Amino acid sequence: MSRVLLMQGNQAVVEGAIAAGVRFYGGYPITPSTEIAEGMAKRLPEVGGKFMQTEDELAGIGTVLGASLGGVRAMTATSGPGFSLKQEMIGMACSAEIPCVIVDVQRVGPATGQPTSPSQGDVMQARWGTHGDHWLIAVSPSSVPECFDLTRRAVELSEKYRCPVILLMDEVIGHMRERIELPDSYEGLAAARRKQPDVTPEDYLAYADTDGSKVPAMADFGSGYRWHVTGLVHDETGFPKGTPAATKNSQDRLRTKLEDHEDDIVQTEHYRTEDAEIVVVAFGGAARTAYEVVDMARNEGIHAGLFRPITIWPFAERAVRELAEKTQCLLVHELNCGQYVREVESAVQGRASVRLYAKYDNEPATPDELLAEIREAEKTIKGAK
Amino acid sequence: MKGMEELVDLYFRPGRLPHLWCPGCGNGVVLGALLKAIDAEGLEKDDVAVISGIGCSSRASGYVDFNTANTLHGRALPISTGLKMARPELNVITLSGDGDCSAIGGNHLIHAARRNIGLTLVVFNNSIYGMTGGQYSPLTPRGSRATTAPYLTIEPSFDILALAQAAGATFTARATTYHVPILVDVLRKGIRHEGFSIIEAVTGCPTNYGRQNKLAAPAAMMEWQKEHGVMKAAWDKLDEPAREGKFPIGVLYERTDLKEYTKAYDEIIERAQAGKEAASA
Amino acid sequence: MLKFYTKRCKGCGICAHFCPRGVLEITELNKSAIVPGKENDCISCGQCEMRCPDYAIFVKKEGA
């Protein structure tokens, strides 16, 4: 049985988190993500979970990491300024491999920017926000129903791969109300728990790759498996070890832990790309306009399509490369001055032309605006022929 | 109470000694006192979590055989808080240095105290940033020399226990590495205390504080502690001039009438599950 | 009786300083040791063990 609701994206995140089995939330109020905190404050205790409004953004993610060490699925949410403040702790979660979900409902930035206007200016921060080489996952929903689904998926991926997962939203998706169908019961929807040790506490090595998956088993604090967590470079015992070999081994495992599983992690959507000559590349809120615009362009005889990365990090390099092999132009549309486009260019490597439609004036593109960009791209292609 | 030799064998992780602290550093004394307190309170290793920040003293978590985390600079308390929320049955002991706790982590200190969450916070106060080589902290006495205060510090120092008490801590205590039995005693009481407890352990840093401040001999730092630490009962009888430059030791403040945070949160869960949003209290 | 863990000792001298009978000294090798001739002067008061930051010296009570 299910129920049909009119719901805001931020509220759908809350329901997705509850369904996924998130039972701890620590966070600080910040527009345009605050409804997530408010929703969690109401919903978590109803299901026996706990919500904390922390003293600042750092404590928000700090409590999340602490709860996760205790074995509880945990989440926080914020917007750009708070996302910046959380970065050091996100690095700690990468290094110590502590599962957690961080929602960033992007606003226009930098600094206070424009809190109630949409932007995708944090897309590179989501990948490279914390210092040092590191590897994590980011997913970006384009609709309210997808907020529910991708929040669940974010929790699942964080537990499965023991890494932070960023749910990168934007103000449009967070605040928009849309039809959503939710199951009456969330039974059976909880994300699978992180892998537990299958050895005795005496034999447990907290960072040993025991099954070749590169993802070590993680015991809950208090479960009888006593282990050590550190943000220092460490070896498989979990204790600091800074030799060149230990450092390289650690970095290699953290990198390949995600690279080896890209087929499972990286999700994308193709819309009418089969015979497309011009493919719009867009994610999150920017992709919403594109479905309709692709149809409009097709009605004019332009062979247009849409490629939507759902997992935005790791970057869908192979899919983009394959696309570039069979199409003529990739039109990257993003709500910033051009960040993701560089990633696309580096994957395409001249196999197709790459154009940028950057929208950074507070407003999502209208269908007409995007259509005009497609027409321009069409002219260039035809002119080149 | 078990002897220290036995406690070291019991609680130190194998191969961790000698530890990395400098000759004469008091951190080993504080950690030893903590092990005595944990053992005397009869806590099981599995039921203890030791969470530290960053700094010399925060290395302590890696040495001992509990559920341990050496986290980020200033962030031991938020991580401890999250863990306590997830696992209220754990005895969560947070280790922090004076800079870690009162400077970069100062905001977390006052809010952990305000919430009265059941953590036992041990502040290793050596009056200096040791790991980075001797910079002044908010607990460095005014007029001290530090590498970042070559002309002596002009900043007054916090009384971290008064700060925590004002913020809502329900247990505050202080002892020194000279007064070991008192240190063990207040650690035991702090662990036993249900709400938020803070224990300031005054410890010497001969290498980075002592050398810059005419207290280079490790024993001289302990002698200084002996001369300046005054038991609370005696302290209460001293007039202001007699207190000058000295500090009280022992349990300085305790109240047990306020509910511990995770227990208070259980009531939120009860209310939420009873289907009623709180009428304004 | 005193028991030394010489590898742990860093020669800080706290034990020697607080020994009420002058039993201990720091040797040229920068380690705590009994002053020659004072082997029988220890009264097992435990001051050294109590304040040793390195868990390098322990007092074994007679008959214990």
pLDDT tens track for B206-257? 999 999 999 889 999 999 999 999 999 999 999 999 999 999 999 999 999 9
Q: Could you read off the pLDDT of A338-367 as tens digits, one per residue? A: 999 999 999 999 999 999 999 999 999 999
Touching, C vs B (3+ Cβ pairs under 8 A): yes
Among B10, B60, B11, B37, residue whose Cα is nearest residue B192? B37
Q: Could you read off the pLDDT of A41-97 as tens digits, one per residue? A: 999 999 999 999 999 999 999 999 999 999 999 999 999 999 999 999 999 999 999
Q: Could you read off the pLDDT of B26-38 as tens digits, one per residue? A: 999 999 999 999 9
Chain B CA closest to residue C2: B5
Q: Which residues of B touch A26 (CB under 8 A)?
A: 78, 81-82
Q: Which residues of B touch A96 (CB under 8 A)?
A: 69
User: Which residue among C12, C13, C55 places its CB closest to the CB of B17?
Assistant: C55
Confidence of residue A266 (pLDDT cuts 50, 70, 90): very high
For the segment A21-26, the average pLDDT, to the nearest whole number, is 98
Q: Which two tokens stand for residue B86?
A: 């997830």
> Which of B5, B7, B63 would best serve as a mutation to test chain C binding (most C beta carbons within 10 A)?
B5
In this predicted structure, the answer to whether residue A384 has a pLDDT above a threshold of 80 is no
Touching, A vs C (3+ Cβ pairs under 8 A): no
Q: What is the pLDDT of residue A385?
A: 60
Radius of gyration of chain B measured on its C-alpha atoms = 19
| CA gap A229, A7 in Å, rounded | 40
Angle value at C-alpha B32, between B31 and B37, nearest 5 degrees: 95
Q: Which residues of B175-198 are buried (b: 16+ CB within 10 A; e: fewer)?
A: bbbbbbebbbbbbbbbbebebbbb
Q: Which residues of B touch C54 (CB under 8 A)?
A: 17-19, 21, 28
- Higher per-residue confidence, A385 vs B202: B202
Q: Are strands A268-271 and A304-309 parallel, antiparallel or unpaired?
A: antiparallel
Q: Which residues of C touch B12 (CB under 8 A)?
A: 55
- Cα-flanking dihedrals φ and ψ of residue B125, to 5°? -100, 100
Residues 6+ apart with CB under 8 A from A92: A65, A98, A231, B71, B72
**Domains of chain C: which residue ranges?**
2-59
Here the ipTM equals 0.97
Per-residue pLDDT of chain C (64 residues; tens, 9 = 90+): 899 999 999 999 999 999 999 999 999 999 999 999 999 999 999 999 999 999 999 998 765 4
For the segment B150-157, the average pLDDT, to the nearest whole number, is 98
Residues 6+ apart with CB under 8 A from A299: none
- Cβ A227–B68 below 8 Å, yes or no? yes
Task: Quote the DSSP letter at residue B164.
Answer: H
The SS3 assignment for A332 reads strand
For the segment A261-270, the average pLDDT, to the nearest whole number, is 98
Q: What is the pLDDT of residue B281?
A: 43
- Cβ B24–C55 below 8 Å, yes or no? no
In this predicted structure, the answer to whether residue A212 has a pLDDT above a threshold of 90 is yes
Q: Which residues of B touch A101 (CB under 8 A)?
A: none
Q: Which two tokens stand for residue A267?
A: 């999700």
Q: How is domain B4-273 classified at the CATH fold level?
A: Rossmann fold (3.40.50)
Domains identified in chain A and CATH numbers = 2-183 (3.40.50.970), 269-384 (3.40.50.920)
Q: What is the pLDDT of residue B276?
A: 62
CATH of domain C2-59: 3.30.70.20
Q: Could you read off the pLDDT of B250-279 as tens digits, one per residue? A: 999 999 999 999 999 999 999 999 986 555
Q: What is the pLDDT of residue A1?
A: 83
The answer to whether residues B179 and B29 touch, using CB atoms and an 8 Å cutoff, is no
- pTM, two decimals, is 0.97
Q: Could you read off the pLDDT of A230-251 as tens digits, one per residue? A: 999 999 999 999 999 999 999 9
Q: Could you read off the pLDDT of B57-77 as tens digits, one per residue? A: 999 999 999 999 999 999 999
- Cβ A222–B89 below 8 Å, yes or no? yes
- Cα-flanking dihedrals φ and ψ of residue A157, to 5°? -65, -40
**Domains of chain B: which residue ranges?**
4-273
**Rounded percentage of chain A residues whose pLDDT exceeds 90:** 99
Confidence of residue B1 (pLDDT cuts 50, 70, 90): confident
Using the Cβ of C41 and the Cβ atoms of chain B, whether some distance falls under 8 Å is answered with no
The answer to whether residues B3 and B32 touch, using CB atoms and an 8 Å cutoff, is no
Q: What is the pLDDT of residue C40?
A: 95
Task: Quote the DSSP letter at residue A114.
Answer: B
> How confident is the prediction for chain A on average, in pLDDT?
97
Chain B CA closest to residue C58: B5
The SS3 assignment for A45 reads helix
Q: What is the pLDDT of residue B275?
A: 80
> How confident is the prediction for chain B on average, in pLDDT?
96
